[in-house]
Amino acid sequence: MNVLNMWQEQLSKLPALGAQTLCDGKTALVIVDMVNGFLTEGVLSSPRAASVLPAVERLLQFAKNNHIPAIAFADCHAEDCIEFRSFPPHCIRGTHESEIAPSLQQIGGYELIEKNSTNGFLTPAFQDCLHRSAWERVVVCGVCTDICVMQFVLSLKTFCNQQNRGMEIVLPVNAVETYDAPGHDAEFLQAAALQIMQQAGVTLVKGVDHNG
pTM: 0.95
CA 126 – CA 105 distance, rounded (Å): 19
pLDDT the model gives residue 212: 59
CATH number at residue 67: 3.40.50.850
Distances in whole angstroms, Cα of residue 176 to Cα of each of 9, 149, 150, 170: 17, 8, 10, 11
pLDDT tens digits along 110-132: 999 999 999 999 999 999 999 99
Pick 181 or 141 by higher pLDDT. 141
In a domain, 73, yes or no: yes
In a domain, 155, yes or no: yes
In a domain, 196, yes or no: yes
User: Nearest to residue 116, comparing CAs of 165, 61, 75?
Assistant: 75
pLDDT tens digits along 13-32: 899 999 999 999 999 999 99
pLDDT tens digits along 36-91: 999 999 988 999 999 999 999 999 999 999 999 999 999 998 889 999 999 888 98
In a domain, 51, yes or no: yes
In a domain, 158, yes or no: yes
Q: Is the peptide bond before 23 cis (omega within 30 degrees of 0)?
A: no
In a domain, 4, yes or no: no
Amino acid at 122: L
Percent over 90 (pLDDT), the chain: 83
Q: How many of the other CB atoms lie within 10 Å of CB of 13?
A: 7
Q: Range of 60's domain?
A: 29-204
Angle at 196 between CA 193 and CA 200, to 5 degrees: 140
Tally of structural domains, the chain: 1
In a domain, 198, yes or no: yes
pLDDT band at 6 (very low <50, low <70, confident <90, very high): confident
pLDDT the model gives residue 5: 78
In a domain, 212, yes or no: no
What's the mean pLDDT in 134-159? 97
CA 163 – CA 157 distance, rounded (Å): 10
